[in-house]
Structure 1
């Protein structure tokens, strides 16, 4: 099985190289790993121990960020290394101030794992939610470096729990402790005789709750919203945007903010054609050229979690594709949430539905009905906010465990 795994990594490398000629993300993925070890060597003191945080992408970074920042606050002398697998994480956070170095994770080969770990000298390794890399995990275990999975979530269909999944279970053997989100994950791991498991919940609750307290005003957004009620469509894809458009004419007194998941020029131009007269955030200075404009398109990254402070109802995109995006950032501000039908991978989405703090829809007609219903519902928003507040505390639990190693 190890031969197949290594072949898969090698094949993935070839595919990324070919894709890099015509796909921007693949190009960033490839270029970011060129001469990666020389780059790391110039940034990192190889004689010093580091706490290593690895994140698949930007979403996982935001998920584990509270642990990283509280750890740095409690132990300021300890140096932190951050790695990302995906360009969408690295390109946004490559200058993150609390890290001694932020890097792409070299592909998981035995040689790369040894070279990388030799360079950063981890005293602890912390992986958020998922990403299991055989050679990195085996070497951490061999060198007796504590490895934590935080905000982990496991499902029966994963290879770990199949009769033929012995190779993948060998990676679980390398984990010192699992901090998982739900009881199903505890039960699945217990079924494989892992008792090094804690039900801690999801560190995202701590992150989004903190964001509500520390959020800064956005003057242009505030000026655009004025005194109007605001509908926010966050992390949208084209199919989501097609559903939202009919709401504009039907609700002329409302303001609409659309923050698409992909902000490439082609998508933004498509969105402008779909909604003529919409403002583009990056093209505004200190003045709004059309103060009576109904729609603003957020054509940059990093604002959405702060924009929710101005909303009344939110639609979260992705539910007509692979799966919905982050609902908790909006719920933390007390916004009722609407999303598409593909949400089953997210426990918080199921919970919000049970609490009547969210509505799932399958069509433009259902979106319109949900929008009308939530305008009259005075309990949905407070229920969403209370749900988030009741789920905080995971970060404190993880930090308490880490004290024995620092």
Structure 2
């Protein structure tokens, strides 16, 4: 079944490649991987392989990559991506020595990739189900670690039909899981190589918070205005259903400014978004110091800026809650601002926890979104109180990266 799914995916990718820029680049990128390895891999060097299926997963691996390179610069880093957005955003990432797409998880690709890469160890996130890669890594006695993992009982791995796939997870040398529930589930299945150490994403977002990256055009956008704006809402990773809540409210409140970062960035999506906004708006790529002061809404059409943009907000709305699941809430929470999101947040461990901590709120519909925003605009002390709880939530959950590095060093995987 797994092989059949891979074959169908490969077929669909080839069919869509002539019509999709993203599919075409992914297909070409996978083919180029073997050439990249042959040209760039240094003979006799020790490579640590980090795989990130997406940009979000890369942000979880990044603190560990940089800690290893700072402490042990003799190690080389091989970084692979599966997603188009992840690779395109980070293909010039300075801390990695080789960056490429990960070829599809077929037996032929796996053997060819590992022959070319020759990693001394490998890291995956939450965990990645590249079963053929895992099987071959185990066969070659290459240590492989799962970091920031979350498991739940409804996963197919723990159903009767997932038993064979569960056994492949025994290829992992060690699991660094985010919560006690994941630990219990794995130990019930006789996995003894598990430790609860939290989420490395907390370390990464706190690092971004401390950097406080300066974006001159955003400063101009907020400082230049014909009238004083009392509140700036940052709407990140939004889908059309999220915008159906945000934009009507924004249109009715001239005291607000809005910075919106759609989850998907392409010409059609941006054009439709601009059409729905009834106040002066501008694309970030078209903004200059001379024209940005005349708009009330700024649409970010560049990947990678969102984590640094949250610092400019009085509150944040995180998209995805009317789609499959709420996206990353921690990037906003780190700046000590209230975090709002839609009703489909249950699959986000961090979203559930920030609600418990009192630093986040969920809006089931437009009416509830309006009530929450009204309260944030009117009661500044309430806005500050919720924001402080959000910031505290992030600050108190740091430290996962240090736990992983200490284990690797003490166990002599890193020497």
Which category describes the TM-score, using the shorter chain as reference length? over 0.9
Map of 2:371 onto structure 1:
369
Question: CA–CA distance in 2 between the matches of 1:303 and 1:25?
Answer: 20
Map of 1:202 onto structure 2:
199
* CA deviations over 1:211-245 (Å, ceiling 9, x no partner): 11112111110111127321111111111112111
Any conservation in 1 of the 2:177–2:198 contact (CA below 8 Å)?
A: yes
* CA deviations over 1:226-265 (Å, ceiling 9, x no partner): 2732111111111111211122233211211111111101
Give the match's secondary structure for 2:395. helix
Residue from 135, 152, 156 that aligns with 1:155? 152
Map of 1:45 onto structure 2:
42
Question: CA–CA distance in 2 between the matches of 1:290 and 1:53?
Answer: 40
Question: CA–CA distance in 2 between the matches of 1:261 and 1:32?
Answer: 22
Question: CA–CA distance in 2 between the matches of 1:36 and 1:207?
Answer: 28
Q: Which stretch shifts more, 181-190 or 158-167?
A: 158-167
Residue from 349, 354, 362 that aligns with 1:360? 362
What are the ranges of 5 or more consecutive residues in structure 2 without an aligned counterpart? Answer: none
Alpha-carbon distance, 1:41 to partner: 0.8
Alpha-carbon distance, 1:107 to partner: 0.9
Give the match's secondary structure for 1:59. helix
Map of 2:111 onto structure 1:
114
Any conservation in 2 of the 1:245–1:275 contact (CA below 8 Å)?
A: yes
Give the match's secondary structure for 1:231. strand
* CA deviations over 1:62-82 (Å, ceiling 9, x no partner): 111101111111111110000
Any conservation in 1 of the 2:251–2:277 contact (CA below 8 Å)?
A: no
Any conservation in 2 of the 1:45–1:120 contact (CA below 8 Å)?
A: no
Map of 1:405 onto structure 2:
413
Question: CA–CA distance in 1 between the matches of 2:45 and 2:3?
Answer: 31
Structure 1 position 273 matched with structure 2 position 290: no
Map of 2:400 onto structure 1:
394
Map of 2:385 onto structure 1:
379
Give the match's secondary structure for 1:318. coil
Residue from 113, 132, 136 that aligns with 2:133? 136
Alpha-carbon distance, 1:335 to partner: 1.1
* CA deviations over 1:112-145 (Å, ceiling 9, x no partner): 1111111111111011222121221111111211
Map of 1:230 onto structure 2:
232
Any conservation in 2 of the 1:128–1:150 contact (CA below 8 Å)?
A: yes
Question: CA–CA distance in 2 between the matches of 1:382 and 1:143?
Answer: 49
Question: CA–CA distance in 2 between the matches of 1:356 and 1:391?
Answer: 15
Question: CA–CA distance in 2 between the matches of 1:106 and 1:189?
Answer: 29
Question: CA–CA distance in 2 between the matches of 1:321 and 1:360?
Answer: 14
Any conservation in 1 of the 2:127–2:146 contact (CA below 8 Å)?
A: yes
Question: CA–CA distance in 2 between the matches of 1:55 and 1:306?
Answer: 21
1:174-193 to 2 correspondence within 5 Å?
A: 174-193=171-190
Alpha-carbon distance, 1:46 to partner: 4.8
Any conservation in 1 of the 2:217–2:292 contact (CA below 8 Å)?
A: no
Any conservation in 1 of the 2:45–2:75 contact (CA below 8 Å)?
A: no
Any conservation in 1 of the 2:199–2:400 contact (CA below 8 Å)?
A: yes
Residue from 350, 353, 372 that aligns with 2:352? 350
Question: CA–CA distance in 2 between the matches of 1:90 and 1:269?
Answer: 25
Any conservation in 2 of the 1:231–1:254 contact (CA below 8 Å)?
A: yes
Cα RMSD (Å): 1.4
Any conservation in 1 of the 2:245–2:365 contact (CA below 8 Å)?
A: yes
Question: CA–CA distance in 2 between the matches of 1:22 and 1:359?
Answer: 40
What are the ranges of 5 or more consecutive residues in structure 1 without an aligned counterpart? Answer: none
Residue from 327, 330, 337 that aligns with 2:329? 327
TM-score, L = length of structure 1: 0.96
Give the match's secondary structure for 1:165. helix
Map of 1:86 onto structure 2:
83
